[in-house]
């Protein structure tokens, strides 16, 4: 199964080339919930600190400034420690 990929502090120029700052924004308060990705999601974290644990996999810590890709078909559990705001796109 595909894994979560995280790029810490990507170059702002690279983000602009990808159009990240034109993507919609999603926000969520500190909480814990299950999630399944119907499509691949790429997101850029504007605020927050959280862990995503794929079913049967190892926890992945994600924080402000990370560019993250979640693979299609992955089921996981989110644990948000600090409220999240992110740009996102489904592919």
d(C-alpha 12, C-alpha 44), whole Å = 11
d(C-alpha 54, C-alpha 62), whole Å = 13
pLDDT tens figures, 10-38: 999 999 999 999 999 999 999 999 999 99
d(C-alpha 33, C-alpha 46), whole Å = 20
CATH of the domain at 77: 2.60.120.10
Could you tell me the residue range of the domain that residue 18 belongs to? 5-90
Report the predicted TM-score, pTM, of the whole model to 2 decimal places.
Answer: 0.95
Q: How many domains does the chain have?
A: 1
At 87, the pLDDT band (50, 70, 90 cuts) reads very high
Fill in the DSSP letter of residue 40.
-
């Amino acid at each position: 199964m595909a894994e979560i990929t995280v790029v810490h502090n990507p170059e702002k120029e690279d983000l602009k080339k990808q159009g990240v700052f034109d993507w919609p924004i999603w926000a969520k308060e500190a909480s814990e919930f299950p999630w399944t990705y119907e499509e691949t999601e790429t997101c850029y974290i504007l605020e927050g600190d959280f862990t995503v644990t794929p079913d049967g996999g190892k926890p992945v810590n994600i924080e402000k400034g990370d560019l993250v890709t979640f693979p299609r078909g992955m089921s996981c559990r989110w644990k948000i420690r600090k409220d999240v705001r992110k740009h996102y796109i489904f592919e």
